[in-house]
Structures are given as structure tokens and as C-alpha cells.
């Protein structure tokens, strides 16, 4: 990335700081040390590149807000979902990265992108450049370049304005808005505001029952409302007295029973693994 942005014709509109640091596993001292650097107060946004495995696709697993996520949407092969951010926000995922220092300590807005496969190699002797691939590196690099071009080329007011932490000693980088995002089979990226999702959800919750009621009314008026009916009269018979069995209740309990059985099987298997061999998840992803 340094080579790309220092090549004539690729210089960013706004300055970029390339921070290469270590010490993440020891209370993230590498990123904490950046706090005493005189350029730190001028940072508006950040892109944190991580590794939770030796390869695979680089996943966008966390973002501070909607506006910075839109910068990632221009990646040629985007990969990620808002579920990761929600997992960290709810405390379901305990591990942390330098992201928390940049965002929660320095107040910058940004993204977390990381390799995550194969998980069984994480923090082992195989967690190195020898066991990764050019495809993995290219996936992260291509997404990072497009993201940084969008962030450093922002000419609007998306990253300008009062800070959420009201810290007057740092650059005023604005307030982000809540958003929802997910990739479309790794080729497209959907990103929109949380209010938009709320509007669609409320609309579907209202429209769907009305459509079902309307369809049921049409079927009832046509004398074809066969739901939950075990028998119906045959109109072809004399007097219409003959009943035809249609078994309208068949399959009604099939889904809940299948759901209970499959959920119980998965839960029981997980509890069995936890009791007999809880560390198998670190030894072999294929065994899992």
C-alpha cells in the first residue's frame, strides 16, 4: 500500500499515515504508543489490518459507522457482514484488536479487516507468510487500496463536524450513523442506514399479514379455502354430498418437530465436544 500511494498518479488527496506496530498481544502497547505521536490528533479515520488466521479471504468484521463502511463498498470483492460488529458490541466475541484503541481511546472512526482462515493455524508456528497465499494477500490489498482511496479522497462533510467525545484537542472528525451492511456472494456490497432497515421491517410486518388476509378472503369467496381442512365436499357428485380427503393438517407439525430434533442434535454434539475434547477446535478445522 505504501508503494502504491507513493507512485506518481496515485497520491491521495488527503494525507495517509502508515502505522506498522507490534505488541498487540501485550495489552496492545503498539497502538497505545501511537498516542504520544504528534500526528495522532489529526487522524480522522483508520483502516486496521489484522490476521486471525494465515489466509483465506480478508473479512470486514467490524466498522464504527455507516459512512466509513461505504468507503469499503467499492472493494472489487467485498466480504463481510454487520453481524460481526454486533457480536463485538454485545460482548459475544471477547478478543480485541488495535481497533478498540483507535476508536475508543483516540476517538477515530474506521474499520477492522482481517484474515480468518484456517482458524486452526492461528497463533501456531504455521501462522506465517509461508502458509498464506498470494490470493489472500491480493484480496486484502485490493480491498484496502479501494477503501483508503475513498477515505482519503472524501471531499464532503462525512468526516467533518463535532466529535462524539467532545475532545477539542483532536481534529473534529464528525459523528457517524448506524448502518447495516453485507456482501452479495462476494461480488457486491449492500450498505444502508439502520433507519432504512427499520422502515422496511415495519412495512413488511404490516403488508405481509394484510396480503395473507386478502388472499384468504379470495379463497374463501371462491370456496377454495382448504387450509387445515381434512375433507371437502365434491362438487362433481350428485348433491355434493361426497367428501374428498385432502389432509389439510398433514405436515403442520413437521417443521417444529424437525427444528426441535436438529437443534437438539447440534446442541448435544456441542456439549459432548466440550466435555470430551474442548480443545479440538484449535487442532483441526476438518474434524469440527
Q: How many CB atoms lie within 10 A of CB 103?
A: 20
Closest CA to 75 of 175, 148, 158: 148
Q: How many CB atoms lie within 10 A of CB 112?
A: 26
Task: Give the angle subtended at the CA of 120 by the CAs of 115 and 121, to the nearest 5°.
Answer: 65
- On the 0-12 / 13-18 / 19+ scale of CB atoms within 10 A, 163 is middle
Contacts 24+ apart (CB under 8 A), 193-199: 193/66, 194/66
Active site residue 24: yes
Closest CA to 116 of 156, 60, 200: 60
> Is the separation of the CB atoms in 43 and 36 below 8 Å?
no
Length of the chain: 288
Give the span between the Cα atoms of 113 and 182, in whole angstroms: 14
Q: How many CB atoms lie within 10 A of CB 170?
A: 16
DSSP codes, 11-74: --SS----------TTTTHHHHHGGGSTTGGG--EEEEEEESSSEEEEEEEEES-HHHHHHHTT
User: How many angstroms separate the first and last alpha carbons of the chain?
Assistant: 36
24, 25, 117, 154: the catalytic one is 24
> Which sequence positions are flagged as catalytic?
24
Amino acid at each position: 500500500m505504501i508503494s502504491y500511494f507513493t507512485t506518481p498518479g496515485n497520491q491521495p488527496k488527503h494525507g495517509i499515515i502508515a502505522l506498522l506496530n507490534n505488541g498487540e498481544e501485550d495489552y496492545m502497547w503498539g497502538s497505545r504508543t501511537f498516542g504520544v505521536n504528534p500526528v495522532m490528533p489529526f487522524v480522522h479515520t483508520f483502516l486496521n489490518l489484522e490476521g486471525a488466521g494465515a489466509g483465506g479471504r480478508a473479512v470486514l468484521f467490524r466498522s464504527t459507522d455507516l459512512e466509513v463502511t461505504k468507503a469499503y463498498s467499492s472493494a472489487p470483492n467485498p466480504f463481510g457482514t454487520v453481524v460481526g460488529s454486533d457480536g463485538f458490541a454485545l460482548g459475544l466475541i471477547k478478543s480485541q484488536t488495535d481497533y478498540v484503541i483507535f476508536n475508543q481511546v483516540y476517538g477515530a472512526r474506521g474499520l477492522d479487516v482481517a484474515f480468518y482462515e484456517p482458524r486452526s493455524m492461528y497463533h501456531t508456528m504455521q501462522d506465517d507468510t509461508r502458509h498464506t497465499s498470494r490470493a489472500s494477500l491480493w484480496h486484502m490489498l485490493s480491498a484496502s487500496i479501494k477503501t483508503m482511496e475513498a477515505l482519503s479522497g472524501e471531499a464532503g462533510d462525512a468526516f467533518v463536524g463535532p466529535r462524539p467525545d467532545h475532545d477539542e484537542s483532536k481534529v473534529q472528525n464528525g459523528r457517524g450513523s448506524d448502518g447495516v451492511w453485507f456482501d452479495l456472494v462476494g461480488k457486491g456490497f449492500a450498505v444502508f442506514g439502520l433507519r432504512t432497515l427499520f422502515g422496511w421491517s415495519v412495512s413488511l410486518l404490516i403488508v405481509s399479514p394484510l396480503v395473507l388476509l386478502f388472499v384468504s378472503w379470495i379463497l374463501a369467496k371462491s370456496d377454495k379455502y382448504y387450509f387445515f381442512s381434512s375433507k371437502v365436499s365434491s362438487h362433481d357428485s350428485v348433491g355434493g354430498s361426497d367428501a374428498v380427503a385432502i389432509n389439510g393438517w398433514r405436515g403442520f407439525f413437521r417443521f417444529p418437530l424437525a427444528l426441535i430434533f436438529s437443534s437438539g442434535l447440534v446442541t448435544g454434539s456441542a456439549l459432548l465436544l466440550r466435555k470430551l475434547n474442548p480443545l479440538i477446535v484449535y487442532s483441526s478445522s476438518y474434524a469440527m
